[in-house]
Amino acid sequence: MIEIANPEEMQETIIGLKKSGKRIGVVPTMGYLHEGHRALIRDARKENELVVLTIFVNPAQFGQGEDFDRYPRDIERDRQAAIDEQVDYIFHPSIGDMYPEGYATYVDVENITETLEGEWRPGHFRGVTTIVLKLFQITQPDNAYFGQKDAQQLMVIKKMVSDLHIPVKIKRVPTVREKDGLALSSRNVYLSPGERQQAAVLYRALQRAEVDIRRGERSRDIIVGMIRDMIKAVGNISIDYVEIVDPVTFRKVQFLENNREHCIALAVRIGKVRLIDNIFV
């Protein structure tokens, strides 16, 4: 496994490798790797001759007062995970190399970024799309792998790729969960044991919503109300949002339609930790 920090060096290396016709799979992450990231890497490993893992905690996607400074980092451990998963290249640039002084170019995807995470974290998606496009330019993937756990992010990136004619296939990887259903997240390490137990309610509530929908419930207000009640019953969890949206446009839905897919998404704060989760129904 080869580690590269310099963007130009990474790009030149990739351009050289592409000449041999190898397919390149890229897995963009912020590091502190867990089984969710590993699932992305494994899919990339299966479908490409070369796998590039990018590790960069991107300041542009964190708002003021968010957890950029205390986002967990452990490059030593990540390196070992990357070796275990047979990654070919790790690209982990410095902030100064990605956003040098005078940096001025940003990508904004409209509409789909207006709800949910976009509403609660203004500027977040602008940071995400900007860094992802930069990473695509540097690593020139044939395939890029994103988790369903960040469902809106995945669709925002798909929209950017389609609107800007970027020659990359976006691959969706299902959410990897703990035994009790909690979606794996680098931020879970900051949950106290008690909070960790409470956090399991999120997936329980989403699953309960799925059952209710299967039994015929179609009202957004009733489903969302039920999820909110289940979460509130657990105690010290503050809810940012619980919403039902169209899984492509991320527009809010008031009544679920038969024979259509919907995404139920939520974001909460447990102590200092902000968690998101979603299911497609």
Closest CB to ligand AMP: residue number: 147
Residues 1-30 that bind ligand AMP (CB under 6 A): 29-30
Per CB under 6 A, does 175 bind ligand AMP? Answer: yes
Residue bearing tokens 């452990």: 74
Per CB under 6 A, does 48 bind ligand AMP? Answer: no
Could you give the CA distance from residue 159 to residue 162 in angstroms, rounded to a whole number? 5
Per CB under 6 A, does 40 bind ligand AMP? Answer: yes
Per CB under 6 A, does 147 bind ligand AMP? Answer: yes
Structure-block tokens of residue 272: 């200092």
Per CB under 6 A, does 186 bind ligand AMP? Answer: yes
- In the complex with ligand AMP, the residue whose CB is nearer, 173 or 253, is 173
Q: Which stretch binds ligand AMP (CB under 6 A): 78-86, 177-185, 233-241, 257-265?
A: 177-185
Q: Catalytic: 37?
A: yes
Contact assessment for residue 6 and residue 12, using Cβ atoms and an 8 Å cutoff: no
Specify which residues 274 forms β-bridges with.
269
Choose which of 4, 14, 24, 39 interacts with ligand AMP (CB under 6 A). 39
Could you give the CA distance from residue 58 to residue 195 in angstroms, rounded to a whole number? 27
Please state the three-class secondary structure of 107-162 as a single string.
CCCCCCCCCHHHHHCCCHHHHHHHHHHHHHHHHCCCEEEEEHHHHHHHHHHHHHHH
Q: Which residues are catalytic?
A: 37
Q: Which residues bind ligand AMP (CB under 6 A)?
A: 29-30, 36-37, 39-40, 146-147, 149-150, 173, 175-176, 183-186
